[in-house]
Amino acid sequence: MPQASYADSHRLSIEQPEVFWAEQAQRIVWQQPFSRVLDFSQPPFARWFVDGTTNLCFNAVDRHLLQRPDQPALVYISTETGQETSYSYRQLHAEVNRCAAVLRAQGVGKGERVIIYMPMIAEAIFAMLACARLGAIHSVVFGGFASHSLASRIDDARPKVLFTADAGMRGGKAIHYKPLVDEALKLAQHPPQSVIIVDRGIDQNLQRVPGRDLDYATLREQHLQASVDVEWVESSHPSYILYTSGTTGKPKGVQRDTGGYAVALATSMQYIYGGQAGDCMFTTSDIGWVVGHSYIVYGPLLAGMTSIIYEGTPVRPDAAIWWKIVEQYQVRVMFSSPTAIRVLKKQDPACLMRHDVSSLKSLYLAGEPLDEPTARWISDALRVDVIDNYWQTETGWPILSAQPGIEPLPKKFGSPGKPVYGFNVKLLHEASGEPVADEEKGVLVIKPPLPPGCLSTVWGDDARFVKTYFSNFHQQVYSSFDWARRDADGYYFILGRADDVINVAGHRLGTREIEEALSSHAGVAEVAVVGVADELKGQVVAAFVVAKDAASVADATGRQALEKALMATVDQQLGAIARPAKIHFVALLPKTRSGKLLRRSIQALAEGRDPGDLTTLDDPGALEQVRQALLNPAG
Ligand code: ATP
Ligand code: MG
């Protein structure tokens, strides 16, 4: 089937999903073929590749042993410890077998859950793949979370084993994991029987609870020659649980299937990310997030690529470190986030010039809105194609993106492009539920069935799945809770979250639009806009700005000058109605651990309320900044 054009292939994927996906399914190895491509007899639940049996680990690792046994599969780089280790597919296979044997000896089998609470080290990936090999379900908990978040995820999963390390490192500082684990296990109602610890030798006072806590190196030694059979599982067997960022509320436990996910990722590697076997991919996310699951671990390995797992920050030892890695490993595809690029933007521009990054074909950015100045800045500096892609933990892979592997369409900065094949995207009017016209704002929804790779349900809570995602718009569609508009050429623009709308005297304004306007000013590094309750107008706009040059807002005169200039910028771009009532200058904005703005907490503080659930907050100092700025509003 020739994919003639983007329009044709997208149309085929929507009108004849069975035909489209049956062909894509050939990208992975099935032990037993599927009898049906899709079972949508119980909407909104979709089952893909019914009766087909497969295994994620086999497809990511074993399958490559014949063709590329000595090619690096994984390169582990830590600028925190100075360690740099490469694992060929053959070595990765051996390590995964050892780890699977260790887990199996602890009673982990098909359907059993394993919590992986790990820093960015290779063993974290061995453990994920080992779970997949055994048909066990992993729940990776971001290593930066503290005991409470860990405990709630333990209770949700009821794991057999918790896999962890003595410590992680960030910015040169050790973060001891074990005391956090101990505390979490005290808080949890359903603690695991055993805790397996990778001792990196960072925590000199590592305490072990006899009978419960086990040393990974010792267990691994016992299974050096292990060969663990692959557990073939039915396509919809859960591969993992992963929680959303919790930007808007209580994190939801996304449950992913096996076969649909493998097919979706393998397809995305060709059509979206352009990853060929043998190429090197560098995804700077963390394995605790969906981008890490899909594009540090499973996607590149399914494609037979080399994947880099990086422990460290983008600015240590200096802001050239990522480009040094690109040069050294001839990275071809890179995946990062707008937040990280904005961090680099505040650094010495010379760092971007120091290395030869000509191997790099494209830089993919996702996770939050990519403002045009940031996109242009990095694209010009590196001379690479910058591709914004829009998706959610729930979908597991992009909903909107350029799809250069199908047809390289012209790019528009500020837009993540067009709907990805398989996603039947609509924009609906919030009140009427009717499709909106071009250029009008609507809620982005997906007409089910959701394509392969998307969440099958909320772990342990089918009712929450239906209620959360399918209860708006007469139960007919999956709601993304994001605003978007589409232009006459069919490009989409994300305008922010549906609960981030400000209503000023009856005018509905997206926080994102105002943020875009403010960040187009050269003096602005980052900005957050929230609506604050106002007796007269319903809501007024408050903006929190991180200046590019801290010295420019060090005194009242500087702040007033920049504030005035920013007000004028908003007036000019959006009109006076969108003008912030107040602009506050801060050094840092409150974000989730995954780098997303915590607008709900900023808004709560601005309205004198409790900032709410802060378990996902990255740096408490940032909330303090907001608090201080609100206390001293004078210029
Ligand atoms: P929660 O659902 O728990 O509140 P969250 O939505 O932040 O948390 P994620 O699944 O990590 O959890 O984030 C997905 C959201 O991130 C999207 O719904 C969208 O709001 C935003 N997002 C992701 N990529 C982009 C992008 N390219 N452009 C604009 N927004 C994006
Ligand atoms: Mg969300």
The DSSP annotation for 310-347 comes to EES-TTSS-TTHHHHHHHHHTEEEEEE-HHHHHHHHTS
Q: Which of residues 10 and 535 earns the better pLDDT score?
A: 10
Q: Which of residues 630 and 101 earns the better pLDDT score?
A: 101
Q: How many CB atoms lie within 10 A of CB 313?
A: 18
Mean pLDDT of 185-194: 97
Q: How many CB atoms lie within 10 A of CB 557?
A: 10
One-letter amino acid at 10 equals: H
What is the per-residue pLDDT for 129?
A: 99
Nearest ligand to residue 480 Cα: 1
Mean pLDDT of 499-509: 78
Q: Is the CB of 238 under 6 A from ligand 1?
A: no
What is the per-residue pLDDT for 2?
A: 46
**356, 296, 371: which is closest to 74 by C-alpha?**
296
Q: How many CB atoms lie within 10 A of CB 296?
A: 28
What is the per-residue pLDDT for 1?
A: 45
pLDDT band at 3 (very low <50, low <70, confident <90, very high): low
Mean pLDDT of 261-287: 97
Which of 425, 513, 596 to probe ligand 1 with, by most ligand atoms within 8 A of CB? Answer: 596
Alpha carbon of 430 to those of 445, 448, 474: distances in Å? 11, 18, 12
pLDDT band at 145 (very low <50, low <70, confident <90, very high): confident
Residue 294 phi, psi dihedral angles, 5° rounding: -80, -35
Using the 8-state DSSP alphabet, how is residue 471 labeled?
S
Nearest ligand to residue 252 Cα: 1
**Which residue has a Cα nearest atom 3 of ligand 1?**
246
Q: Measured in angstroms, how far is the CA atom of residue 495 from the centroid of ligand 1?
A: 12
pLDDT digits (tens, 9 = 90+) for 387-440: 999 999 999 999 999 999 999 999 999 999 999 999 999 999 988 899 999 999
Phi-psi region of 196 (alpha: psi -120 to 50; beta: other; left: phi over 0): beta
Q: Is the CB of 390 under 6 A from ligand 1?
A: yes
Are the CB atoms for 341 and 312 separated by under 8 Å?
Answer: no
Structure tokens at 372: 């045009």
Q: Measured in angstroms, how far is the CA atom of residue 336 from the centroid of ligand 1?
A: 14
574 three-class SS: helix
Nearest ligand to residue 594 Cα: 1
pLDDT digits (tens, 9 = 90+) for 607-627: 999 888 787 788 888 999 999
Q: Measured in angstroms, how far is the CA atom of residue 479 from the centroid of ligand 1?
A: 12
Q: Is the CB of 397 under 6 A from ligand 1?
A: no
**381, 387, 629: which is closest to 528 by C-alpha?**
629
Mean pLDDT of 522-544: 91
What is the per-residue pLDDT for 633?
A: 65
Q: Which residue has the tokens 């010039």?
A: 353
Q: Is the pLDDT of residue 512 over 90?
A: no
Q: Is the CB of 500 under 6 A from ligand 1?
A: no
Instruction: State the DSSP string of 59-84.
Output: HHTGGGTTT-TTSEEEEEEETTT--E
Distance, CA of 120 to CA of 287 (rounded, Å): 7
Q: Is the CB of 600 under 6 A from ligand 1?
A: no
Global confidence as pTM: 0.90
Rounded to the nearest integer, the mean pLDDT of the chain is 94
